[in-house]
Amino acid sequence: MCASRDDWRCAQSMHEFSAKDIDGRMVNLDKYRRLFEGVKGVYISASPMLLIVTWTILVSLVHLLKTVRLLRLLRLLQKLDRYSQHSTIVLTLLMSMFALLAHWMACIWYVIGKMEREDNSLLKWEVGWLHELGKRLESPYYGNNTLGGPSIRSAYIAALYFTLSSLTSVGFGNVSANTDAEKIFSICTMLIGALMHALVFGNVTAIIQRMYSRWSLYHTRTKDLKDFIRVHHLPQQLKQRMLEYFQTTWSVNNGIDSNELLKDFPDELRSDITMHLNKEILQLSLFECASRGCLRSLSLHIKTSFCAPGEYLLRQGDALQAIYFVCSGSMEVLKDSMVLAILGRSELKAP
């Protein structure tokens, strides 16, 4: 027993005290001392682990903040939408999406086959598609289905072949589903394939048709022109001139009639467009004194015409109803088959 402070210090340093009388009861101080030291040791020993856990959580939160970068995908989608009018780009994206989907489904098909093989490793069932592939390639599984079997390369190619054949058709049967899990996956693949036909291949067909629409229109108009010549029994020389003129105009404007295209626009917008299209003509010295309103009005009445090589634009005695400007190429002025002048680009031909 310790009766004074000096005695208490002595007992604490020598670890020899055991009890004290508090309110008439004997208290085992040595037990509480050991308990306190044990709890203190737990806290001290747990401090490094607590720091590690806290640091791990902070690092995880920092990595989680990096997911904000995924918002950049919105910019990518905006750029893709900007190029959506380019048939080649859209066609490439659709085919890439189809190939990526086929790859994912091939991986799932392989995982299903592997799980079926592992689940039946203690049995003698050999019904999975991997077992069938191993038999065909003469590399069957053995040793409780854990050894042997086809290589990863052969299994992936077979899985990709199965998914592509199932997505584009109903498959060919040489790689088929045998277990319940494989059959369920095959059903899902066929349903997805039906959606892909409607989504991807429907768009691909429309894109290919749009890519060849001009080519188809050219041949349609050429056929109509030849039918017109045949029905009206036009002479060969006139027929040749008509075909040459059609081919020349098509090579210049690609079958687009600007007047027909702009007729639905309001006059204000149409005048701005035509002023831009005809700015080389409106900048000639002839129109230096004209106001902007006058130029806008004139631009609405300017029309573009084409003349095939060797054709006559005007003949002596013809009624003149327009002023012509040579915008491209050159033109000869003839009199009795004699060349009087050669008009070049932006030169005036007045009546």
Domain assignment of residue 245, yes or no: no
For 13-22, 127-136, 154-163, 258-267, which range has the lowest pLDDT when averaged over its residues?
Answer: 13-22
In sequence order, the 6+-apart residues with CB closer than 8 A to the CB of 103 are 160
Q: What pLDDT does residue 343 have?
A: 78
Q: What pLDDT does residue 284 have?
A: 81
| pLDDT of 20 strictly over 50 | no
Residues present in the chain in total:
351
C-beta of residue 140 within 8 angstroms of C-beta of residue 131 = yes
Q: What pLDDT does residue 130 have?
A: 78
Q: Are residues 47 and 124 in the same domain?
A: no
The residue that leads in pLDDT, 190 or 2, is 190
Residue 297 CA to residue 284 CA, distance in Å, equals 16
The residue that leads in pLDDT, 77 or 308, is 308
CATH number of the domain where residue 200 is located = 1.10.287
Q: Are residues 51 and 133 in the same domain?
A: no
| pLDDT of 241 strictly over 80 | yes
For 103-107, 145-149, 286-290, which range has the lowest pLDDT when averaged over its residues?
Answer: 145-149
In terms of C-beta density within 10 A (0-12 exposed, 13-18 middle, 19 or more buried), how is residue 101 classed? Answer: middle
Number of domains in the chain: 2
pTM attached to this predicted model: 0.49
The residue that leads in pLDDT, 231 or 327, is 231
Q: Are residues 59 and 97 in the same domain?
A: no
What mean pLDDT, rounded, does the chain reach?
74
pLDDT band at 229 (very low <50, low <70, confident <90, very high): very high
Token duo for residue 220: 């349609």
| pLDDT of 15 strictly over 60 | no
* Domain end point (choices 211, 241, 259): 211
Q: What is the pLDDT of residues 50-66, one digit of tens each?
A: 555 565 665 566 666 66
- Structural domain of 38: 5-63
% of the chain with per-residue pLDDT over 90: 5
Domain assignment of residue 70, yes or no: no
Domain assignment of residue 277, yes or no: no
Domain assignment of residue 98, yes or no: yes
Average pLDDT over residues 234-247: 89
Domain assignment of residue 31, yes or no: yes
Q: What pLDDT does residue 307 have?
A: 78
Domain assignment of residue 250, yes or no: no
Domain assignment of residue 26, yes or no: yes
